[in-house]
Structure 1
Amino acid sequence: MAYCVSSVAFGDGGRGVQVGQSNAPIQASFYYPPEPVEPTPPPFASIPFRRDPTFVNRGDILDQIGRQCSEPASRVAIVGLGGIGKSQLAIEFAYRFAAHSAEKWVFWVHASTQARVIEGFMSIADKVRLMGRNRPDADVLQLVFDWLCDGRNGKWLLVLDSADDSDVLVHSTSGDNDDGLKLVEYLPQSQNGSILITTRNKYLALRLTGTHQAIHEIGPMTKEEALMLLKKRLGTLSDANAAADLVRSLDLIPLTISQAAAYIQMRAPRTSLVRYLNEFRQSESKRVKLLSHNAGDLRRDLRQDGGASNAILTTWQLSFDHIRSRRPSAADLLSFMSFFNRQGIPKSLLRSPNNNNNAAQSINPEDIIDSDSQGSDDETENEFEDDVAMLRDYSLIMLSEDENVFEMHGLVQLAMRRWLKAQGLQDKFLEQYITVMASSFPTGNYENWTVCRALFAHVEAAAEYRPNGDNLKKTWSGLLHNGGWYEWLQGRYAVAEQMVSQGRGTREKLLGKDHEATLASMSLLSLTYLNQGRWAEAEKLQVQVMEARMAKLGADHPDTVTSMNNLGSTYCERGRWEEAEKLFMGVMEYSKAKLGEDHPDTLRSMSNLALTYMKQGRWEEAERLQMQVLKIWKTKLGADHPDTLTSMNNLASTYCDQGRWEEAHKLFMQVMETRKAKLGEDHLDTLTSMNNLASTYMYQGRWEEAEKLEAHVMETRKAKLGEDQSTYMYQGRWEEAEKLEAHVMETRKAKLGEDHPDTLTSMSNLASTWKSQGRHEEALSIMESCVQRQRQVLGLSHPFTNLSLSTLDKWTNN
């Protein structure tokens, strides 16, 4: 703007001179020509984004915001994680607010930086045509503030979008000068206006609104909302199940769903919803690639400091950078947490994580369950709580129902790990995670099950990583060994196999085949094979382990004796009773001499020997040993210990084989009730107990009780191992028996494979049902198939094979 010099005055000592150079002060006075009078426009909405035609409402949140914004001088905040849909809600609300009354103003100010806030206020000044705004000395912030405070100018709504950085609003606009004005002071509390704030920072939201009641925390969408958004974005959902799986995989976060939909549309028809989902599930690197795709969204402020990227990983990394600059210890805590399973992260493992790198001696497993029992000095605790508060304020972590357990979004963890990799920090925090987990996760023994149950998901997470450095790899393999040990005892044999196999491979490479740690992994791996009916594989490994231990440790070393015991168990499963008996007898005699009659290894060898007697029909010898073992277990471990219950179960089975149903029933009932209480109704051992109890009902003619119990087992066991359904056969209810047995057989085929011994048992049972129905040709066909597979899997000498062969010969001859 042009302006004129009105007069020039010289100070004392300078009057009457022609000035080329003067040391006297010179004072100039300026005047500004009068500005043309601009009429104030009628109220209108100034929203820099078009309305979203694919907007999905989130419950009644907009109605709640509307009621609060109708109050005079109200301030309301929408708080949540980046990409959760805060700005989309604000845009929709602004349009609804404007549509409700044409006499109201709507202004939009981007608050990512001080420059953007000042720019927003200058834009308001231009839009309402404030007098004096163009003068060089104009204080536009004050002019806009005064205008907003003037009730004569009408009602207004000011949206303060992306106010994530508290420094932008509460620090002085004059840099380090604390005397300068702060932008927050120009946000009026006017009776004729309301302010709606969107922010990732809950603490800042509280400072700006002054009350928790004015803060709306936004989390992920519901599944229904997420599916609706995906459908609106894609136009149609070709596969409803795949769509549901996809939105769950994307953590129900709106930006990730929109990003995925844009990617699919951009690459259609070569990329479909199903293909995107399959790629997303392939690997972490695939997920990173897909989530780094920056699809255009005109409703995101791309002029923010650093850019409001439409790629969700970039969006969150801006938050990580901000936290790192404000509170490095909070960023370290978030980095550490990003390696855990996203749920059930115990506070006890997080406190002072930098001090836990040598925590093998310092972490008490009981403290994992009772976090408050692990003391720490007040200063350290306060520092930790401040870190947690900051991460919670940014919605990066959440408290579960138990205040000592945290949760995170899986995709936030993924973004954090990617950020750490870019910063060259991933190995540091991965080492910290694996070291802490290895020192915290105990062996799989019964007394550790409570701790193992609480931490196992984090062991599974550790199994997905590939650490660097030989020492860390050794630590990692030990963690996987203990995790596999626990899973094996829980009856989850496939998971146990995978975990132990990983650990074994690492140990073999670093330590050698004959190292005791490697042999321990091989031994445990063989037991997972044994329980999956892969007896040949189990035997091969067990022979290798036994021979290596004999050569290295000697025949009378406890580890060698354990190997002999394991091999004997495999012989038992394969029906090689005499070989098993010989091994078990040797183990028992050694254990008695070296360890004593009441040592756990001695008792287990006695129990195994009794099993071989039972299988050979030597009931009295079996019963005598089992009674002896049960008495000692009860005294040493108590009546509810798993080893005690196994002994009771074995003794009851011996009673069954002798037709002593009432005695068997009493023991089976006690075992079942205890296992229910200790292990849960769906544990494999509990289900076995139920089946055993049902068999006593069946042989006593108590059909309804047997049927009820076996039906319950079948429903519970669908995802487990399946079970035999013979109750209906004994009642002559062939159609129901056939239906159940066919279901069991198909389930076992799917879960265990066509050649698993349990699957072959189901085939034999189904053949018997068809034979009883008069379906002779079908029965012969399936029994022939069963015998053929049993010959291959179990061998000609196995009792089960012989029984099936005998049945087949009888049917054929008749």
Structure 2
Amino acid sequence: MSDHTRITFGDGNHGFQVGQNSGPITTNFNLPPERPETPPKPTSTVPFCRDADFVERGDLLHRIEQICSGPASRAALVGLGGVGKSQLAIEHTYRVRDYASRNKQDIWLFWVHASTKARVQESFKTIADVLKLSGRNQPEANILQLVERWLSNEHNGKWFMVLDSADDLNVFYDTKSTGQTGSLEDEKRSLWTYLPQSPNGSILITTRNRELASRLTGSHKNVIDVGPMDPSHALALLATKCGDGLDMDAGPELVKELEFIPLAISQAAAYIQQRWPRSSVTKYLDKFRKTSKDKFNLLDFEVGDFRRDRNALNSIITTCQISFDHIRSERRSAMRLLSLMSFFDCRSIPDYLIHPDFVRRYGENEGGEYTDGEEDTDGEEYTNDDWAGFPQDPDSLFEDDIITLRKYCLIKTNETSHNLGMHSLVQLSVAKWLAAHGKTETFKQVYLSRMVRAFPRGDMYEHWKMCRELFAHVEIALNYRPKARYSLKHWVLLLYHGGNYAESQRRYTTARKMAEEALAANKKVYGEEDGETMDLLDLLCRIHMCCGLYEKVESLLLPVLEARQELDAESPDTLYTMNTLALNYSWQGRWNEAEELHLQILEVLKKRLGTEHRDTLISMNNLAWIYLNQDRWKEAEELQLQAVEGYKR
């Protein structure tokens, strides 16, 4: 038998000492019970002070109050990052407190940062400490369950909770371990089960995820859409944030450029304030409109707002990119769809242009140079020409991708058409996200290939309806000159067709810019003798003639004509240039010079093609038109009769 000697370790603690023992020893050490704590008075864990510059936004706060006023009620604010959901929640909590104070009622106000499981647990621990819940300091305490039990007890009084930035569905509905110690059953519980439907409490959720909002509130009727501000409210916010002394004449235009999004407006105001008096609303607007790079820099400016969570990014660009990362991890094909959409005019995008099966419906690639897809860094390859890797048909895949993007409030659908839209600030954010991931050229290639298939020749009347519908998506292509040689051909051809349409509609400034950009690029890569170079040169000359810029036409054509005549004075390219130059002379009334060129063209065509060839007959008619304008009726009549007889044969 071992020799036991009892010793004392302190008040209430005992132990034993073993000199020698050959058998098992079992000991129990009991910690002293926690001392009872004085129950606290109702208070608030909202970590933000009230915003003195808060601007009312119609009936949004009234709708929150209506839904949250009932027992066990839940409401959710859903919208794009930066539209002010958290700010509305903060203001509502202070109004709840004010109402309780006026009516001499007590109410607990709890704020839970819900972006990750760890932040939820941290917030619940703060609540447990504020409530002084018994057992919270025990090593194996299940804080989530302790708080849940307290919230479920009606005797504890009224409470109101905000779940802020609850964007990730997996945070609340993932059945993996919550990280809490305790029983196996507790470890398997999802976080949403710790939010009781207690008649003495209500919950307000802020989220970008519409599906999560519906699931946490139990009904889409309890979901409140928060969009951009009304123009008047946006202007009021800009004026309030900028302060007195600033000229607000350019304010309406600036908030319109910022799409009335509160975070972007606050960014602009903070930027202006920081640089005042060397900056102003007008100067900010001018810089914002200058280049895409300037837009990126201004929208990426960190506000440093102490009324936003410490982990929240205070620029509209980086705020949007949080959603992109969520989507890419949740549904990769939806992020591809959003990436492709970002290259189109964001106001109204026909859904067939971005459909996964577009290539199959609109024909195969020419020459096999182009693959309508993306190869990811993880080795996964996506190709719209091959659906073997997808478990669904293209239509189902497309609709599910749209649902995902709508769920995050990143795109807009139209009830009266099949067109989709997105905010221009989201479009800019996607552009930066693609650049950061090295995917800009990949999706630019997809966009150009699709548009060059979809947009018809713009110089034909029967195509004008389609051209009119798609022209906004062609205009934006001016910003997308590709780096790859094979994509450059698509870009040049798209601008050529777009320039032809713009010229037909007398939109000469746009037409000239398209022709000039495409001509310079094509000439540099493929040379002056390339067929598309000549087509673009002809288009540019026609545009200049329509604008009365005849000297420019001559300066473009004379060097080309001289070089071609040296190589082959009778080549089709030489004759083509001569004809365009003759037309330029005709428009100026320089009939003799025009006649000389037309005579040369006609002689060559007779010699090479014969008198009855279609091109020869057209040349006769052109020369007859020159004679008519000089009142040389007999000569004109003879040529036109020859042309008519030739056409009859």
TM class by shorter-chain length? Answer: 0.7 to 0.9
Cα displacement (A) at 1:501: 0.7
Q: C-alpha displacement at 1:74, in angstroms?
A: 1.4
Aligned to 1:131: 134
Partner in structure 2 of residue 122 of structure 1:
125
Contact 2:357 2:394 (8 Å CA) reproduced: no
Matched, 1:462 2:477: yes
Distance in 1, matches of 2:11 and 2:407, equals 51
Identity of aligned residues (%): 44
Tell whether the 8 Å contact from 1:335 to 1:416 is kept in structure 2 after alignment.
yes
Deviations 1:125-178 (A, max 9, x none): 222333333333332222221222222222221110000111111124626999
**Counterparts of 1:54-73 in structure 2 under 5 Å?**
54-73=53-72
Paired position in structure 1 for 2:498: 483
Give 1:194's aligned residue: 202
CA distance in 2, matches of 1:224, 1:311: 22
CA offset at residue 95 of structure 1? 1.2
Letter in 2 for 1:49: F
- For 1:467, the aligned partner's letter is P
Aligned to 1:762: none
Residues 91-123 of structure 1 deviation map (CA, whole Å, 9 limit, x = unaligned): 111111221123232211110111211122222
Pairs within 5 Å for 1:548-567: 555=570, 557=572, 561-567=575-581
Write the distance in 2 (CA, Å) between the matches of 1:448 and 1:461.
20
Matches of 1:492 and 1:391, distance apart in 2: 36
Could you tell me whether the CA contact under 8 Å between 1:4 and 1:30 is conserved in 2?
A: no
Task: Look up the match of 2:28.
Answer: 28
Letter in 1 for 2:542: L
Q: 1:242 to 1:20 in 2, by over 3 A?
A: farther
1:349 pairs with 323, 330, 353, which one? 353
- The residue correspondences of 1:244-255 to structure 2 (distance < 5 A) are 244-255=252-263
- Does residue 516 (structure 1) correspond to residue 524 (structure 2)? The answer is no
Q: How does 1:423-572 map to 2 (within 5 A)?
A: 423-446=437-460, 447-546=462-561, 555=570, 557=572, 561-572=575-586
Shift of 1:237: 7.3
Give 1:234 shift: 0.7
CA contact (8 A) 1:110 1:117 kept: yes
Q: Deviations over 1:258-289 (max 9, x none)?
A: 01110111111112222222222221112222
Alpha-carbon spacing, 1:294–1:612, altered in 2? closer, same or farther (3 Å): same
Query: What letter corresponds to residue 306 of structure 2 in structure 1?
Result: L
Question: 2: distance between equivalents of 1:3 and 1:409?
Answer: 69
Deviations 1:234-275 (A, max 9, x none): 124744442222212222211111011101111111122222
* Counterpart among 221, 235, 251 of residue 243 in structure 1: 251
Structure 2 counterpart of 1:92, one-letter code: E
**Do the aligned partners of 2:248 and 2:281 also contact (CA within 8 Å) in 1?**
no
Partner residue of 1:415 out of 405, 408, 429: 429
Deviation at 1:460, TM superposition (A): 2.0
| SS at 1:101 equivalent | helix
Deviation at 1:59, TM superposition (A): 1.4
TM-aligned CA deviation for residue 422 of structure 1 = 1.8
Report the Cα distance in structure 2 between the residues aligned to 1:595 and 1:98, rounded to whole angstroms: 96
CA contact (8 A) 2:160 2:202 kept: yes
Structure 1 residues 287, 626: closer, same or farther in 2, change over 3 A? Answer: farther
Instruction: After TM superposition, list the pairs within 5 Å mapping 1:632-671 onto structure 2.
Output: none
1:651 corresponds to: none
Task: Name the SS for the 2:393 alignment partner.
Answer: helix
Partners of 2:121 and 2:543 in 1: CA distance: 67
Provide the C-alpha distance between the structure 1 equivalents of 2:210 and 2:641, rounded to a whole number of angstroms: 65
- When residues 119 and 611 of structure 1 are mapped into structure 2, their CA distance, relative to the original with a 3 A threshold, is same
1:263 aligns with 2:277: no
2:504 aligned partner, one-letter code: L
Partner of 2:379: none
Shift of 1:433: 2.2
Task: Give SS of 1:216's match.
Answer: strand
Task: Give, in angstroms, the shift of residue 208 of structure 1.
Answer: 0.9
Change (3 A) 1:19 1:553: farther
Partner amino acid, structure 1, of 2:512: E
Matches within 5 A, 1:85-484: 85-102=84-101, 103=105, 104-172=107-175, 174=177, 180-236=188-244, 238-302=246-310, 307-352=311-356, 359-360=364-365, 379-446=393-460, 447-484=462-499
Q: Distance in 1 between matches of 2:259 and 2:55?
A: 16
Q: Amino acid of the residue matched to residue 458 of structure 2?
A: G
More helix by share: 1
Shift of the 604–117 alpha-carbon distance from structure 1 to 2, 3 Å rule, reads farther
Displacement of 1:568: 2.7
Q: Which amino acid aligns with 2:53?
A: T
Q: Secondary structure of 1:143's match?
A: helix
Cα 1:23–1:491 shift into 2, 3 Å: farther
Q: Distance in 1 between matches of 2:363 and 2:80?
A: 34
Where in structure 2 are there 5+ consecutive unaligned residues? Answer: 1-9, 368-384
Q: 1:532: Cα distance to partner?
A: 0.9
Partner amino acid, structure 1, of 2:333:
S
Amino acid at match of 1:88: Q
* Distance of 1:552 and 1:542 partners within structure 2: 15
Find the aligned partners of 2:566 and 2:456 in 1 and give their Cα distance: 30
Structure 2 counterpart SS, 1:221: coil
Instruction: Please give the per-residue CA displacement for 1:569-620, whole angstroms capped at 9, x wherever unaligned.
Output: 2112211124335555776898899699996x78976775575456445689
For residue 32 of structure 1, report the CA deviation from its aligned partner.
Answer: 3.6
When normalised by structure 2's length, the TM-score is 0.83
Shift of residue 331 of structure 1?
1.8
Q: 2: distance between equivalents of 1:20 and 1:249? A: 84
Alpha-carbon spacing, 1:125–1:567, altered in 2? closer, same or farther (3 Å): same
Look up the match of 1:573.
587
8 Å contact kept, 1:512–1:518: yes
1:39 and 2:43 are equivalent in the alignment:
no
- Report deviation, 1:199: 0.4
Is 2:459–2:497's contact at 8 Å kept on the other side of the alignment?
no
Q: 1:585 to 1:234 in 2, by over 3 A?
A: same
Aligned residue pair count:
607
The 1:318/1:616 distance shift into structure 2, 3 A limit, reads: same
Q: Structure 1: which 5+ runs fail to align?
A: 9-16, 363-373, 634-814
CA contact (8 A) 2:43 2:108 kept: yes
1:184–1:518 CA distance, 2 compared to 1 (3 A): same
Q: Counterpart of 2:322 in structure 1: which amino acid? A: L
Distance apart, 1:552 and its partner CA: 6.4
**Which stretch of the first structure deviates more once superposed, 444-453 or 202-211?**
444-453
Q: Structure 1-normalised TM-score?
A: 0.67
Query: In structure 2, what is the equivalent of residue 49 of structure 1?
Result: 48
Instruction: Note closer, same or farther for the CA distance 1:609–1:317 as it changes in structure 2 (3 Å cut).
Output: same
Mean alpha-carbon deviation: is it higher for 171-180 or for 262-271?
A: 171-180
Residue 396 of structure 1 deviates from its aligned partner by 1.4
Q: Is the 8 A contact 1:568 1:584 kept in 2?
A: yes
- Deviation string 1:765-809 (CA, Å, 9 cap, x unpaired) is xxxxxxxxxxxxxxxxxxxxxxxxxxxxxxxxxxxxxxxxxxxxx
Letter of the 1:256 partner, please give it: A
- Residue of structure 1 in register with 2:380 after alignment: none
Change in CA separation of 1:220 and 1:21 when aligned onto 2, cut-off 3 Å: farther
CA distance in 1, matches of 2:641, 2:307: 76
